[in-house]
Structure 1
């Protein structure tokens, strides 16, 4: 049997019927996960043992027939969402319980690896806001507010001059949705979007503290003539400079060592802040020459 995963073509609904937002639950997603559990466990005695393990861990009750076939679909469709998500992890734990000897079955090791791959594939294809790591633990994808910020940023870069920046923002989202997420590349993609917009707005291709002082600060002082508004804008500008320095930590040039991946909470905060700064920078519009010495 080949270890090469089957080629799966994108279906009509995955191309032309993609929802705007990820959902937190779906009957079809539950049904597909139930079918996956059934096929991964494969033999009736393993299904019976696993249903007992789920009862012990989560108090789930399954119907079985005379051949020990388990009512995966029926039970998983009814339980509350958090218990359903827990059940995905508990089934993974069952595979590794020595007393059940799952790995004594032929091909079990590959089936367990495929279980993780297929759970993530089902989550992605059904557009639900979860992913599963290689230890079988289910995690939420970035929350709805974060997703809204991303969508607002994409919409805010509709101008003809911001095509490249918009692609960098889309790239950042792709890195976030990888399994596991590549947070450092996601952060740096947002930085590249900012750098591209900075070039469009100021005709300067380098985004750093010195260039910001030379090119962007005069634009801010010109744009906001009310003293209170200008002071607020300059406070925000100071935060933007700090963000630029922060994002530089995740730059990766060819031949350099890959940056250490930041924890999820920090990465999301950096990325979400970057979305706001990118939209603000884009509000300065078309190129405008600023006279200053390098």
Structure 2
């Protein structure tokens, strides 16, 4: 459904106002939190920035209790390292509007986001946004949650590596496609559990995945047709991503347009989630 103008993310608005729903999962980084905390403390001590006023605005705008230390004073390091990530992203906007040096602030926080490969960007008015969009982040987060089993550790690592190619430092459409392909391939190999198979292609999909589909949907009268249609789509995705797989030197592949790479990644992550829900044949 197309968003109305009023539902579009607004520049300069706090992240929590633009995006947050109760079920919205968010990516974060402990290293980025600590770096932001240190930047905040350095700013407060060197630029005349009133950190106490900032804390009050955070409480007023976000409806949370700003943490305090044993002495009863506001604990800024605890806030930046322990608060909910949605509150952190929204507090960055508050910080922007209360600092005396917004240009320097944007430069430094953007650098942290970039170097830590976070899936967000900051607009020129201090508003934080998803690098792609909310639905894409939901899809990624759901895939990460589904790959929690130890057998999917390699697939999860590959997915994280793929998402790093959306950052401004390493942004690469071919890297994104390649990483998601590796994640899907790894998950597929973990599911079928056949040591003689080490590649994902149409032939091994027919041999190993189709029996799983037929067993899973055996109660459906059109199970065979359903499985064939699924296989056709999956094999088409594999074929489209194959030029970017790990067997081809990355530098020898033409860069993929980012919008097409995101579309391919979205499809691949869907297959990844599906594979993570399957059990290997007995």
Please state which band the TM-score falls in when normalised by the shorter chain. 0.5 to 0.7
SS of residue matched to 1:284: coil
Give the C-alpha shift of residue 196 in structure 1: 1.2
Q: What is the correspondence of 1:168-207 to structure 2 with a 5 Å cutoff?
A: 168-179=158-169, 181-202=171-192, 203=194, 204-207=197-200
SS of residue matched to 2:165: helix
- Given that 1:165 and 1:194 are in contact with CA atoms closer than 8 Å, whether structure 2 keeps it comes out as yes
Q: 1:242 to 1:258 in 2, by over 3 A?
A: same
Mind listing any 5+ residue stretches in structure 1 that lack a counterpart?
1-7, 41-87, 89-114, 133-137, 290-294
Give the C-alpha shift of residue 146 in structure 1: 0.2
Q: Deviations over 1:181-206 (max 9, x none)?
A: 12211211111111111111112321
Which of 78, 93, 117 in structure 2 is aligned with 1:26?
A: 93
Instruction: Say yes or no: does 1:223 pair with 2:212.
Output: no
Question: How high is the TM-score relative to the length of structure 2?
Answer: 0.59
- Given that 1:29 and 1:123 are in contact with CA atoms closer than 8 Å, whether structure 2 keeps it comes out as no
Instruction: Say yes or no: does 1:35 pair with 2:26.
Output: no
Mind listing any 5+ residue stretches in structure 2 that lack a counterpart?
1-32, 38-76
Give the C-alpha shift of residue 242 in structure 1: 0.9
Give the C-alpha shift of residue 229 in structure 1: 4.8
- Given that 1:221 and 1:230 are in contact with CA atoms closer than 8 Å, whether structure 2 keeps it comes out as yes
Which of 245, 251, 259 in structure 1 is aligned with 2:253?
A: 259
Q: 1:241 to 1:172 in 2, by over 3 A?
A: same
- Given that 2:34 and 2:81 are in contact with CA atoms closer than 8 Å, whether structure 1 keeps it comes out as no
Instruction: Say yes or no: does 1:279 pair with 2:273.
Output: yes
Instruction: Say yes or no: does 1:248 pair with 2:242.
Output: yes
Q: Which has the higher contact order (CA 8 A, sep 6+)?
A: 2
Structure index of larger Rg: 1
User: How many residue pairs end up in the alignment?
Assistant: 198
**Which residue matches 1:234?**
228
Which of 79, 96, 111 in structure 2 is aligned with 1:121?
A: 111
Tell me the C-alpha RMSD between the 2 structures. Answer: 3.5
- Given that 1:195 and 1:207 are in contact with CA atoms closer than 8 Å, whether structure 2 keeps it comes out as yes
Question: How high is the TM-score relative to the length of structure 1?
Answer: 0.57
- Given that 1:198 and 1:205 are in contact with CA atoms closer than 8 Å, whether structure 2 keeps it comes out as no
| Structure 1 CA distance for aligned equivalents of residues 119 and 191 of structure 2 | 37
| Structure 2 CA distance for aligned equivalents of residues 21 and 240 of structure 1 | 39
**Which residue matches 2:66?**
none
Q: What is the correspondence of 1:67-106 to structure 2 with a 5 Å cutoff?
A: none
Instruction: Say yes or no: does 1:152 pair with 2:153.
Output: no
Q: Deviations over 1:251-281 (max 9, x none)?
A: 2547563422222221111111111101111
